[in-house]
Amino acid sequence: MFSFLFLYMFFQLLNDHPGFPDPALAEEDGLLAIGGDLSTERLLIAYSNGIFPWFSEGEPILWYSPHERCVIYPDKIKISKSMQKILKQEVFKITFNQAFAEVIQNCAHTERKGQDGTWITNEMQEAYINLHQQGYAHSVEVWLEDKLVGGLYGLKVNRVFCGESMFSLVSNASKAALIFLSKMNIDLIDCQLPNDHLMSLGAEMIRRELYMEMLQAH
């Protein structure tokens, strides 16, 4: 039995089966499927196949697999001289997996230029906190004088860190989190979709086929 139904050029997922169609069948904008749930099983299958959920409050769950992926190779991350100085002076204290819920809540509530509201809904927060509690999702926290001022979160699949979101309440805090992440035992940071900030840090676009090779390599 098929685990999805074809509907209006994208796939409707069935609630009683966590599978996905071939990511290569995604629309030009990356939209692959609609519906389903945010269960741990479905999310792990999604990320293992280069698929991620992205939708707004009040919308059905939308699943994407872009034909080109925005990524950062850890050894190619750009660190400016001023940022090197900040890191050397240890302006920030940086931790790992110490405040996951606080990081995702800050990511959800941080205002972003050109965005009205957040895609990190309460349902999304609960799902990823559950993934973290089971050891699948991780966070990097940036502290300034014992106050959480920046961070990021995502999932690690083999040697790829699938970044979901980051926030910064003071200058350079999210950069510090990303640089910290780049020094961990990973081969690639998946940024999903490009923006000017990520590109300035050394992000680049790669084909889905190459991304999947790296994602599934052990």
Q: Tell me the fold of 4-65.
A: Alpha-Beta Plaits (3.30.70)
Q: Is the pLDDT of residue 5 over 90?
A: no
pTM score, two decimals? 0.90
Q: Which residue has the higher pLDDT, 104 or 197?
A: 104
Domain boundary assignment for the chain: 4-65, 70-216
pLDDT tens for each residue of 54-70: 998 888 999 999 999 99
**SS3 of the chain: helix, strand, coil, percent, to 5:** 30, 30, 40
pLDDT tens for each residue of 100-118: 999 999 999 887 554 444 6
The per-residue pLDDT for 123 is: 92
Distance CA 195, CA 105 (A): 21
Asked if residue 60 lies in contact with residue 37, where contact means CB atoms within 8 angstroms, the answer is no
How confident is the model over 93-104, as a mean pLDDT?
Answer: 98
Residue 79's pLDDT band, with cuts at 50, 70 and 90, is very high
**Ramachandran area for residue 20 (φ above 0: left; ψ -120 to 50: alpha; else beta):** beta
- Give me 23's structure tokens: 């990511």
Residue 130 in 3-state DSSP?
helix
Beta bridge partners of 153: 139, 165
Distance CA 172, CA 164 (A): 18
The per-residue pLDDT for 217 is: 86
Distance CA 183, CA 203 (A): 15
Distance CA 100, CA 94 (A): 13
CATH 3.40.50.720 fits 70-216, yes or no: no
Task: Return mean pLDDT, the chain.
Answer: 91
